[in-house]
Chains A and B, each alone.
Chain A
Amino acid sequence: MPMIPYLVTYAGVAVFVVAVLARIRMFSKMPMHLRWELYPVPHEKERAQHGGSYLEEPEWWKKPRHVSKSAEMTAMGREIVFLEALHEHNRKMWWRSFPFHFGLYLTFTATVLMALGAALAHFAGGSWSAVAGAWQILIALVAAIGAGLVFLGALGLLQRRLTDPDLADFTTAADVGNLLFFIVTFGFALVTFVAFDPRFVLASEFVHNLLAGHLVPVASGAAGAMVAVTACLLATLTAYIPLTHMAHFVAKYFAYHSVRWNDEPNLPGGPREKLILANLTQKVSWAAPHIQGGGEKSWVDLATEDFSQYGEHK
Chain B
Amino acid sequence: MRASPSIHDLGRGSGPVGHLKLADQEPLPPPYDQPGWIPPFKPLTEKEQEKFVCVDDTIVVNIPKPQTKEEEDRLVQTFLGGMRKLFSGADNWTFLQPLVISMEHCARCQTCSEACHVYTESGRNPLYRPTYRSEVFRRLYFKHVKGSTFGRGDIELSWEGIARLIELSYRCNLCRRCGQSCPLGVDNGMIAREIRKVASQELGISTRELHGDGSMLQQRTGSSTGMNAIVVKDNLDFIDEDISEKTGLSLKTPWDKEGADVLVMHNAGEILAWPENPGAFGLLLEAAGISWTLSSELAAYDSINYGAFYDDVQLARTLIRHMQAAKKLKVKKIVVGECGHAHKVLGVIADRILTGDLNIPRESALTLMADIVKSGRIKLDPSRNDFPVTLHDPCNITRLMGIVEPQREVVRAVVPQERFREMEPHGVHNYCCGGGSGFAIMQGHNFPDWRFQVSGRRKMRQILTAFQGLPMDKDHPKYVCAPCSNCKGQIRDMLKYYDAWERAGIGYGGLVELVVNAMVDVKPGFIDWEWH
> Interface readout for A133-172 with B: 1 if CB under 8 Å, 0 if not?
0000000000000000000000000000000011111111
> A59-B363, A168-B2, A266-B354 are contacts. A30–B89 as well, Cβ < 8 Å?
yes
Which B360-394 residues sit within 8 Å CB-CB of chain A? 361, 363-364, 367-368, 370-371
> A259-B101, A288-B203 are contacts. A40–B428 as well, Cβ < 8 Å?
yes
Which A199-230 residues sit within 8 Å CB-CB of chain B? none
**CB <8 Å contact, A171 and B367:** no
- A208, chain B: closest CB distance, angstroms: 35
In angstroms, Cα B357 to Cα A7, docked, is 60
Can you offer 23 A-B residue contacts whose CB atoms are under 8 A? A26-B100, A27-B100, A34-B353, A38-B399, A39-B398, A51-B398, A51-B429, A52-B405, A60-B363, A85-B183, A90-B114, A169-B2, A169-B3, A169-B126, A174-B152, A245-B104, A252-B184, A266-B359, A282-B89, A288-B200, A293-B91, A312-B211, A313-B211
- B324 to chain A: closest residue by CB: A304
In angstroms, Cα B185 to Cα A303, docked, is 31
Stretch of A13-21, A114-122, A273-281 at the chain-chain interface: A273-281
- B44, chain A: closest CB distance, angstroms: 20
> Interface readout for A55-69 with B: 1 if CB under 8 Å, 0 if not?
111111100000000
> A282-B93, A304-B320 are contacts. A273–B359 as well, Cβ < 8 Å?
yes
> Interface readout for A275-314 with B: 1 if CB under 8 Å, 0 if not?
0110110111111111101000001001110011001111
Q: Which residues in A have some Cβ–Cβ distance to B below 8 Å?
A: 26-27, 30-41, 44, 47, 50-61, 79, 83, 85-86, 88-90, 93, 165-172, 174-175, 177, 244-245, 247-248, 251-252, 254-256, 258-260, 263, 265-268, 272-273, 276-277, 279-280, 282-291, 293, 299, 302-304, 307-308, 311-314
- B185 to chain A: closest residue by CB: A255
**CB <8 Å contact, B313 and A291:** yes
**CB <8 Å contact, A248 and B313:** no
In angstroms, Cα B219 to Cα A312, docked, is 13
Partner of A33, one of B131, B180, B352: B352
Which B166-216 residues sit within 8 Å CB-CB of chain A? 176, 179-187, 190, 200-206, 208, 211-212, 216
**CB <8 Å contact, B400 and A166:** no
- A305, chain B: closest CB distance, angstroms: 9
In angstroms, Cα B185 to Cα A38, docked, is 10
In angstroms, Cα B65 to Cα A314, docked, is 12
In angstroms, Cα B356 to Cα A268, docked, is 6
> A167-B108, A266-B352, A276-B352 are contacts. A313–B212 as well, Cβ < 8 Å?
yes
* B111 interface residue per 8 A CB criterion: yes
- A36 to chain B: closest residue by CB: B98
Partner of A254, one of B101, B126, B427: B101
- B367 to chain A: closest residue by CB: A58
- B194, chain A: closest CB distance, angstroms: 12
**CB <8 Å contact, A286 and B201:** yes
In angstroms, Cα B479 to Cα A115, docked, is 66
- B132, chain A: closest CB distance, angstroms: 8
CB contacts (< 8 Å) of B349 on chain A: these are 34-36
Partner of B93, one of A31, A79, A169, A286: A31
Which B503-527 residues sit within 8 Å CB-CB of chain A? none
In angstroms, Cα B129 to Cα A167, docked, is 11
CB contacts (< 8 Å) of B91 on chain A: these are 282, 284-286, 293
In angstroms, Cα B314 to Cα A37, docked, is 21
Partner of A34, one of B95, B317, B359, B406: B95
Partner of B105, one of A33, A93, A247, A280: A247
Partner of B95, one of A27, A33, A93, A299: A33
**CB <8 Å contact, B152 and A172:** yes
CB contacts (< 8 Å) of B78 on chain A: these are 287
Partner of B90, one of A168, A276, A284: A284
CB contacts (< 8 Å) of B354 on chain A: these are 266, 276
Most buried by A among B101, B359, B406: B101
**CB <8 Å contact, A290 and B356:** no
In angstroms, Cα B371 to Cα A58, docked, is 7
CB contacts (< 8 Å) of B403 on chain A: these are 52-53, 55-56
- A93, chain B: closest CB distance, angstroms: 6
**CB <8 Å contact, A39 and B401:** yes
**CB <8 Å contact, A165 and B3:** yes
- B94, chain A: closest CB distance, angstroms: 5
CB contacts (< 8 Å) of A170 on chain B: these are 7, 108, 110, 131, 135, 153
Which B61-118 residues sit within 8 Å CB-CB of chain A? 63-64, 78, 81-82, 85, 88-91, 93-98, 100-102, 104-111, 113-115
* B347 interface residue per 8 A CB criterion: yes
CB contacts (< 8 Å) of A263 on chain B: these are 348, 402
**CB <8 Å contact, B313 and A303:** yes
Partner of A39, one of B96, B109, B186, B399: B399
- A44 to chain B: closest residue by CB: B402
**CB <8 Å contact, A280 and B353:** yes
- A33-B97, A285-B85 are known; give 18 further A-B pairs, CB within 8 A: A34-B353, A51-B404, A52-B405, A55-B401, A56-B404, A57-B367, A58-B370, A61-B361, A86-B109, A90-B110, A90-B183, A168-B2, A259-B187, A268-B356, A284-B90, A286-B313, A291-B313, A312-B212
In angstroms, Cα B91 to Cα A282, docked, is 8
CB contacts (< 8 Å) of A53 on chain B: these are 401-403
CB contacts (< 8 Å) of A252 on chain B: these are 105, 184-185
**CB <8 Å contact, A277 and B355:** yes
In angstroms, Cα B361 to Cα A60, docked, is 9
CB contacts (< 8 Å) of B351 on chain A: these are 35, 265-266
* B40 interface residue per 8 A CB criterion: no
CB contacts (< 8 Å) of A260 on chain B: these are 179, 185
- B405, chain A: closest CB distance, angstroms: 6
Closest 7 interchain pairs by CB? Answer: A255-B185, A53-B402, A51-B428, A174-B151, A31-B93, A170-B108, A85-B183
**CB <8 Å contact, B98 and A259:** yes
* B229 interface residue per 8 A CB criterion: no
**CB <8 Å contact, B367 and A56:** yes
> A32-B93, A89-B183, A289-B204 are contacts. A307–B402 as well, Cβ < 8 Å?
no
> A90-B111, A313-B204 are contacts. A302–B96 as well, Cβ < 8 Å?
no
* B14 interface residue per 8 A CB criterion: no
CB contacts (< 8 Å) of A283 on chain B: these are 90
- A251, chain B: closest CB distance, angstroms: 4
**CB <8 Å contact, B317 and A251:** no
CB contacts (< 8 Å) of A172 on chain B: these are 151-153
CB contacts (< 8 Å) of A35 on chain B: these are 348-349, 351-352
* B6 interface residue per 8 A CB criterion: yes
**CB <8 Å contact, A248 and B105:** yes
**CB <8 Å contact, A314 and B202:** no
CB contacts (< 8 Å) of A38 on chain B: these are 176, 179-180, 187, 399-400
Most buried by B among A26, A171, A174, A284: A284
Most buried by B among A27, A32, A167, A290: A290
- B402 to chain A: closest residue by CB: A53
- A165, chain B: closest CB distance, angstroms: 5
Partner of B402, one of A39, A174, A273, A279: A39
Most buried by B among A30, A44, A172, A255: A255
